[in-house]
Amino acid sequence: MVEDTVAVAEHAARTADAIARAIDALAGRRLAILTGAGISTDSGIPDYRGKGAPVRTPMTIDQFLASEDARRRYWVGSHLGWQAFAAAAPNPGHRALATLEAQGIVAGVITQNVDGLHVRAGSRRVVELHGTMRRVFCTHCGQVFDRRDLAQRVEADNPWLLVPETVPLGPDGDVLPESTTGFRIPLCTVCEGMLKPDVVFFGEFIPAEKFREAEQLVRGSGALVIAGSSLVVNSGIRLLERARRRRLPIVIVNRGATRADHRATVKIDAGTSDVLQVLAEALPAIA
């Protein structure tokens, strides 16, 4: 018990020191922010690789496009999780970034998340690298649909499909369905073409224009803060390298190790909500 107390105190002291060094590194600079799944865990959305996260085998784009059974499995699981996913609310970390943007300290947010919580928190310049679950589009004619409207259609076409009160939600708002038998896959109401959520599947490339927008945000900023990302996805590493080559300060806030801790100016091993709130209080005072 005494050893646990000492370990907690030592970790708290290291965290406080790291935050102080991060504030010094970021003071007086305009910040680009890159966020990953870890920023949304306090909103009830689990991450992919954090401590305790279950091993997942996400559907690839090739599987989705090639197999009707795969699409049926996807849409059942996605619909079952949609209500809980859509009900998730921005947490203090999201709100802290929106506040810093309103004060002119944050230039914008680049996010690997598809939950839309930065937009709902009030951030105005948000680059959604991997798309958003708010929209669905037809792969044939390009018609775009609001996900809320699609959910109503799915319920009308599959009235037997009951959404449980509590679901083991995945990072993309999906669950593992027990059965897909009899499920009617939603189709485009314009041309009856295949519908796809407006997100980047595994095995799919980030749209070039989206990545250019993210690069421009980093290029126009004086520092990069990475919050809640383990940086396993290459897009995050590429943006970090853009900042490093310009010798910008790089601050990483994440529970546990990331792929680029050794490249950071400061690494803060802590939760994003607490740290970003501290930055939102400290940086405006010394801007």
Catalytic annotation, residues: 130
Sign of CA dihedral 95, 96, 97, 98: positive
Question: Is-contact 251 266, C-beta < 8 A?
Answer: yes
Which residue from 10, 212, 37, 21 is spatially nearest to 114, judged by alpha carbons?
Answer: 37
228 dihedral zone (left: phi>0; alpha: psi -120 to 50; beta): left
- 266 Cβ contact partners less than 8 Å away, ≥ 6 residues apart: 18, 21, 22, 25, 249, 250, 251, 252
How far apart are the C-alpha atoms of 166 and 84, rounded to whole Å? 8
CA distances from 80 to 18, 42, 149, 203 (A): 41, 21, 15, 24
